[in-house]
């Protein structure tokens, strides 16, 4: 039994090391790593279980998984935050992003709780994905400056007026990227609202979990169809990321890019953005970074990025059931 567990532990470590490579492999070349990267939280969990198991048995084998976790420490920090918030500053800007799921859950008591959350956190800028402007729950009096193209389910709500705005044509109605320029504390900044291509497998995964039987052909056909969607979406996201970053790098002003990126920290898309921008979660978050509240657990796919001209004071995932995504909020200021 002990020998079998050692081999299983080594196999787990091998899979984890392969997972560590996923951010550096373009899915257009080899898409399998995109799928492997999504499994990092589970690989981390099983490595921790092996550490505790070997310690309980008083075996030195626990060092295998400890070493594996330490090798991927940078990835660990992108999923589990270890940084406390800084004291609130006078000239900081608070920005919130949330995929609203077309406001399906924002009714009755939930809508009141959402509005109270906005009062409590008082964001200066709100970025919504998957939401129509005409049915938005955002108070237009408190956020009088709104940009939402008619062809997009992307909206930017601000307390500050816009001096410029634009719509990047990189996706369909639900996905895409819009941006605005505004002046905060006498400094112009640019804010991007991003919604990259979705895997569109949440409903499929939920159905397979409830009705799937590995002994039936239909179940395997469903799994194959899901993998095909993951492959195609990963390739699309990597191309969308490259287009957004090329546009972003031409900005004359400090940049914030936030929204639903539909990719985990161990993805090629994340790696592309991390070369240019700072991840607010890694800088100032504490605790597990799960942002997806849907049928696929422990996914962190919603981000607030800033370039190096900003200092991140706080970052938080608000664990409220307003949508199939949790709101993410960050307080930042120019250096």
pLDDT on residue 213: 53
Instruction: Identify the residue whose tokens are 């996201």.
Output: 237
Indicate the angle between helix axes 2-21 and 62-71, nearest 10 degrees: 0
pLDDT on residue 208: 56
% pLDDT > 70, the chain: 91
Q: Hey, what are 168's tokens?
A: 């990047």
Instruction: Identify the residue whose tokens are 């004071």.
Output: 313
Interatomic CA distance for residues 329 and 319, integer angstroms: 11
Q: Residue 201 in contact with residue 180, Cβ under 8 Å? A: no
Q: Residue 147 in contact with residue 181, Cβ under 8 Å? A: no
Q: Hey, what are 228's tokens?
A: 């095909």
Q: Residue 167 in contact with residue 178, Cβ under 8 Å? A: yes
**Residues 90-129 pLDDT 10s:** 889 999 999 999 999 999 999 999 999 999 999 999 999 9
* pLDDT higher than threshold 70 for residue 221: no
Q: Hey, what are 292's tokens?
A: 């997806």
Q: Residue 332 in contact with residue 93, Cβ under 8 Å? A: yes
> Which of 62-66, 107-111, 220-224 is least confident?
220-224
For residue 125, the tally of other CB atoms under 10 A from its CB is 24
For residue 225, the tally of other CB atoms under 10 A from its CB is 12
- Alpha-carbon dihedral sign for residues 227, 228, 230, 234: positive
State the number of CA atoms in the 13 A half-sphere of 227 facing the CB.
11
Global confidence as pTM: 0.92
**Residues 296-330 pLDDT 10s:** 889 999 999 999 999 999 999 999 999 999 999 99
């Amino acid at each position: 039994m002990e020998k079998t567990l050692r081999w299983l532990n080594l196999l787990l470590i091998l899979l984890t090391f392969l997972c560590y490579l996923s951010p550096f492999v373009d899915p257009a070349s080899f898409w399998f790593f995109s799928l492997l990267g999504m499994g990092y939280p589970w690989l981390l969990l099983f490595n921790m279980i092996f550490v505790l198991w070997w310690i309980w048995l008083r075996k030195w084998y626990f060092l295998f998984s400890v070493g594996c976790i330490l090798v991927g420490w940078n990835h660990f920090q992108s999923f589990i935050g270890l940084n406390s918030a800084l004291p609130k500053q006078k000239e900081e800007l608070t920005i919130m992003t949330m995929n609203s799921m077309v406001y399906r859950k924002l009714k009755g008591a939930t809508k009141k709780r959402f509005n109270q959350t906005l009062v409590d956190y008082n964001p200066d800028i709100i970025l919504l994905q998957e939401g129509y402007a005409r049915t938005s729950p955002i108070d237009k009096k408190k956020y009088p400056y709104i940009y939402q193209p008619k062809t997009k389910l992307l909206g930017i709500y601000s307390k500050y007026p816009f001096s410029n705005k634009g719509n990047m044509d990189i996706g369909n109605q639900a996905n895409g990227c819009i941006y605005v320029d505004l002046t905060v504390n006498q400094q112009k900044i640019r804010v991007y609202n991003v919604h990259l291509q979705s895997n569109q497998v949440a409903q499929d995964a939920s159905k397979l979990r409830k009705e799937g039987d590995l002994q039936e052909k239909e179940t395997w056909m469903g799994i194959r169809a899901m993998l095909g969607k993951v492959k195609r979406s990963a390739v699309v996201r990597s191309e969308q990321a490259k287009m957004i970053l090329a546009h972003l790098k031409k900005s004359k002003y400090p940049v914030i890019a936030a929204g639903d990126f539909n990719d985990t920290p161990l993805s090629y898309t994340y790696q592309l953005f991390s070369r240019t921008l700072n991840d607010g979660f890694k800088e100032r978050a504490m605790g597990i970074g799960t942002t997806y509240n849907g049928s696929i657990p422990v996914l962190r796919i919603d981000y607030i990025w800033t370039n190096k001209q900003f200092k991140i004071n706080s970052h938080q995932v608000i664990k409220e059931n307003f949508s199939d995504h949790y709101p993410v909020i960050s307080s930042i200021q120019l250096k």
